[in-house]
Amino acid sequence: MGKLAENSIISRTNALVVTLAVALFLGSSLLTLYGWIMWQVLKPFDVFVELVFALVLVQRAAAKYYYELDKKVIRITKSIFGHPNQYEISYRDILGVYRHPAKSTAARSFGRSYRLHSALDGRLVWTIAYNQPDNKGRMETRRVYFKPSEKMLAALMELLPDKVKTSEGEIAGRHPAKPK
C-alpha cells in the first residue's frame, strides 16, 4: 500500500453553526463593552468567560487537520494559523479503532485524550486507542478522536484487520486496563 493522505473537510452545516456561535459571541461581547463604557461596570468574570469562549471557537474553527497513513505510522498534523503540531501513532501500538461515542460500559482509563478533528468537518468521529510511554517511561493507554474518510478506514482495515471497526469492550478485553 502506498501513502494515503487527506485533509479535514468543511461542511456547510457545521460552518453555519460556528458562524452563528461567533455572532452570538460578538453580541455578548458588545453588550459587555457597552455596559463598561456607559455605566463604568466591568465584570471580570464575564470578560474571562468571553475570552475563554473566543479561544475555544478559534481553536475549533480555525484548526486544519491532515491525516496520513504511512508504512509504519498514522500521522496527524494539526495546524492553527500556519503553526503545525504533529502526532504519530505506530501501528503496532494501536489497540483498536472504534466509533465514538463508545457503546460499551467497559471500565477503561485513558492517560490522555486528543481531539484531532475539525468542528467544521461533517464526517463521523472515530477513536484510536493505543499504548505509548509517558514521561516517566510507564506505558499509558491514550486515545485520539479523528474524522477519517471511508477510504482511509478501509485502508486502516487492510493494515489492521482485527483492530479496526471494533468495540471498546473488545479492546478492553484484549488489553485490560491496569488500576492506578
Rounded percentage of the chain residues whose pLDDT exceeds 90: 45
The pLDDT tens digits of the residues spanning 59-107 come to: 888 899 999 999 999 999 999 988 999 999 999 999 999 998 866 545 5
Domain ranges, ordered by start, for the chain: 1-180
The pLDDT tens digits of the residues spanning 154-168 come to: 999 999 998 998 877
Query: Mean of the pLDDT values across residues 45-70?
Result: 87
Query: Mean of the pLDDT values across residues 121-130?
Result: 94
Rounded percentage of the chain residues whose pLDDT exceeds 70: 90
Assess contact for 156 and 148: CB atoms under 8 A: yes
pTM for the complete prediction? 0.81
Residue 2's pLDDT band (cuts 50, 70, 90): low
Higher pLDDT, 178 or 133: 133
* DSSP character string of 96-163: EEEESSP--------SEEEE-S-TT--SPPEEEEEEEE-TTS-EEEEEEEE---HHHHHHHHHHSTTT
Query: Mean of the pLDDT values across residues 128-134?
Result: 91
- Report d(CA 97, CA 171) in Å as an integer: 9
**Residue 93 DSSP code:** G
